[in-house]
A and B are shown apart, each in its own frame.
Chain A
Amino acid sequence: MKKVKKIISVVLVLGMFSGTAFSATQIEWWHAMGGALGEAVNTIVGGFNRSQTEYEMKAVYKGNYTETMTAAIAAFRAKKQPHVVQVFEVGTATMMAAKGAIYPVHQMMKDSGQPFDESRYISAVIGYYTTTDGKLLSLPFNSSTPVVFWNKAAFAKAGLSGAPKTWEEMGKFSRKLISSGASECGFTIGWQSWSMLENFSTWHDVPFATKENGFAGLDTEFVFDSPLHVKHIQQLADWQKDNVFRYGGRRGDGNPLFAEGKCAMLINSSAYYGGLVKSTKFDFGTSQLPYWASAVSEPQNSIIGGATLWVLKGGTKDEYKGVAKFMTYMSDVFVQTYWHQNTGYVPITNEAYELTKKSDYYKKNEGRDVAIIQMSSKPPTANSKGLRLGNFVQIRDILNEELEAIWAGKKTAKQGLGDAVSRGNKLLRKFERANR
């Protein structure tokens, strides 16, 4: 551990001196990491710039994920694109289909003569971003997965000792929390499509869409209106009546319900860990997602959210050599350890995970390894490798709308999910046609 700390501090100290090489080749990276995350990005980029003199990486913050992706696409159309752009996981299929615009990472590494071995990376992380024969298309940067955060004080008040493991227990525990006065509501959720449908499917090893969730072809169709899905969503809708479940809005808008102590549990991205530490006044635990014990005997694996670094075509050979060097640097065990421990995102290499495990970091910071264990304790199946669906940004919106209609009682789960499937399929067909 001491050694790790020392090296991390060396990385940080190096990050403080800035010396620009004179004739360094400039490479540009557009990212979507604001605030504290942006500072961590700058530390990493600073470290890279000082580790060599031939290349200088310039990191530019371009707004949220959607804005960054749109900016890069617009720049590409105007032939002013950056070399590297950070794209969130739902944009993966759009990027993949743009064969004339992207430079696959495995190819670029090979062309630039940089050593590159896919097996170094955690398979649950890179599985989302590889071709069917295992070639890496974009380098994972920040990855997270949904987990359960639970209010330890409220649980103690209700006489409960640990987080629920199953959805059946979710209901039971919530009722106990409410009746004992420990909290107003049982649980709330965030990123509902991702946590309650996409991850719900992989966690129960059922398909979200046909053709291995789109990995095996563009002619995929949605199937998240199966009896299990309908049962789950209808249960959530019904649970609203006695406050077991309360909806707090899209993305992280529901987090305050948890942070203010109104709901005792929150199901949302593990990346919110750092923010919750700051905004809560109580001790909270992190645990794995619940599963329906009536449907499966044990859960499969959850999938990631977050973003990867895509390389765009149009630069010179020398510039790509710099990008390749940067990606090697990014995958360095100490850079990864620094990123993982400072942000709450999971590490992308096995080495960085092992290093953090060997140190007493997880003992001191209980629950920080839940995300990675949940993602990688079982080898993924065809249903749980990830999703590769075109127009998925819009489809997520449709899912948000239909789920909101269900929560508001305007539609039953069966109607809402059925409508979402047919609306989503239309967009899948449109994408298939535009990318033939």
Chain B
Amino acid sequence: MEKRSTFNNLWLPYLLLAPQIIITFIFFIWPASQALYQSFLLEDAFGLSSEFIWFENFEVLFSDPLYFDSINTTFIFSAATTFLSLSTALLFAVMADRVIRGEMAYKTILTWPYAVAPAVAGVLWLFMFSPSNGILALALKDWGYDWNHILQGGQALVLVVIAAAWKQIAYNFIFFLAGLQMIPKSLIEAAAIDGAGPAKRFWTIIFPLLSPTTFFLIVVNVVYAFFDTFGIIHAVTQGGPYKSTEILVYKVYNDGFIGLDLGGSAAQSVILMFIVISLTVIQFRYIERRVKY
């Protein structure tokens, strides 16, 4: 017979939940509501005078073509970063999974970049691609390609995507490797006996079985590209040239902390909050349905 414990005390469950609720309140609900409140205000920098202006900060944003450019940049940037870092990490993981000797050495080396702080990662790539004296920029010049990300927006975007993806490869690699090792060898061997080549085995067996890991990593990487790449962009391009690398998070910082436009900046972070909430909902609602666990 199954024995179920029940709580007779009405307050005990709330008491046990309290730490979680308090943490959520202090670190999420309270700041989020502050941002929401601030987004309705027009304030001077020192907070000496403030005017409640309802949705005007939002109206200004949505009538600003530059804001839509920033949204666009953000989607291109996060899609490119996620795709590049996931595909490279998967390639490395498949390779490392097949290595028999010196396995640990490969794994250790491939995980190192994760320990590098975003800003440092940005500076490393900046040095290599510095138009006046970076080694890769000079090498490109020798091949007849004029690299100048200080003026060319497209190149600047490529540079921050590479730097952001490079840093995330290590993290993705670990998860893919763990995912690969979870796949029963017998399945793959059976397919091999039936005559399926390595590419066929990968696309029809390994890749679908890896989908829970891939799904999880897509969520993590998109969030990473949205929020954690601030340091890279700040170190490499500061949003320029001509806003071509100004993703939404960077715009929030730029308008709020450099421009001291707190209301406009708060309105942007409220929008950002809704974008992330809806992204997560879409991911769990629709993409997860197609994932086989």
A binding-site residues for B, Cβ under 8 Å: 66, 70, 73, 76-77, 94, 97-101, 247-250, 253, 256-257, 260, 262, 391, 393-394, 397, 400-402, 404-405, 407-408, 410, 427, 430, 433-436
Residues of B participating in the A interface, judged by any CB pair closer than 8 Å? 42-49, 51, 132-133, 150-153, 238, 240-243, 254-255, 257-261
B126 to chain A minimum Cβ distance, whole angstroms, is 11
Does B241 contact A97, Cβ atoms closer than 8 Å?
no
Q: Are A394 and B258 in contact (CB under 8 A)?
A: yes
CB A313 to nearest CB in B, in angstroms, measures: 10
CA distance A247 to B240 in the complex (A): 14
Q: A100 and B46: CB pair below 8 A? A: yes
Can you spell out 12 A-B residue pairs with CB atoms less than 8 angstroms apart? A100-B46, A100-B48, A101-B48, A256-B133, A391-B261, A394-B259, A400-B240, A404-B242, A408-B152, A410-B242, A434-B51, A435-B44
Cα separation A248 to B149 with both chains bound (whole Å): 11
In the bound complex, do residue B151 and residue A407 qualify as a contact, i.e. CB atoms below 8 Å apart? yes
Contact A256 to B260, CB < 8 A, known contacts A100-B46, A434-B42: no
**Distance in Å: Cβ of A138 to nearest Cβ of chain B:** 15
- Cα(A408)–Cα(B51), bound, Å: 41
Whole-angstrom distance between the alpha carbons of A97 and B48 in the complex? 10
- Closest Cβ of chain A to B236, distance in Å, is 12
CB nearest to A67 among chain B residues: B257
- By secondary structure, the B interface counts as loop
Point out the residues of chain A lying under 8 angstroms from B257, CB to CB.
Answer: 66, 70
A427 to B264 alpha-carbon distance, docked (Å) = 12
- Interchain pairs with CB closer than 8 A, number: 85
The answer to whether B150 and A253 have CB atoms under 8 Å apart is yes
- The distance in angstroms between the C-alpha atoms of A313 and B156, with both chains bound, is 44
Q: With the chains together, A101 CA to B243 CA distance in Å?
A: 33
Contact B242 A94 (CB under 8 A): no
Q: A401 contacts B243, CB within 8 Å?
A: yes
How far, in Å, is B49 (CB) from chain A's closest CB? 7
Counting chain A CB atoms within 10 Å of each CB, the highest count among B45, B133, B151, B241 belongs to B45
| Shortest distance from the beta carbon of A406 to any chain B beta carbon, whole Å | 10
Does B242 lie within 8 Å of A73, measured CB to CB? no
Known: A391-B259, A394-B258, A430-B261. A247 touches B44 (CB 8 A): no
Contacts of B242 in A (CB 8 A): 401-402, 404-405, 408, 410
Selected from B45, B132, B150, B255, the residue in CB contact (under 8 A) with A262 is B132
Contact B151 A404 (CB under 8 A): yes
Q: How far is B199's CA from A379's CA once the two chains are assembled, in angstroms?
A: 79
Which residue of A100, A260, A401, A435 contacts B240 across the interface (Cβ within 8 Å)?
A401
Which B residues are CB-close (under 8 A) to A434?
42-44, 49, 51
Q: Which residue of B lies closest to A406 (CB)?
A: B242
- For A405, what are the chain B residues with a Cβ–Cβ distance below 8 Å? 241-242
Assess the A94–B260 pair: CB atoms within 8 A: yes
| Complex CA distance for A66 and B132, rounded to whole angstroms | 27
Whether the Cβ atoms of B48 and A394 lie closer than 8 Å is no
Q: Is the CB of B260 within 8 A of A393?
A: yes
Give chain A residues whose Cβ lies under 8 Å from the Cβ of B133.
256, 260
Complex Cα distance A256/B134, Å? 12
Chain A nearest Cβ from B63, distance in angstroms: 10
Complex CA–CA separation, A422 to B111 (angstroms): 49
**What is the minimal beta-carbon distance from A383 to any residue of chain B, in angstroms?**
26
Do residues A249 and B46 form an inter-chain contact, with CB atoms below 8 A? Answer: no
Q: How far is the CA of A397 from the CA of B66 in the complex (A)?
A: 14
Apart from A94-B45, A410-B242: 14 A-B pairs, beta carbons within 8 A: A73-B45, A94-B260, A100-B48, A101-B48, A247-B150, A250-B240, A256-B133, A260-B133, A391-B261, A401-B240, A405-B241, A405-B242, A435-B44, A435-B49
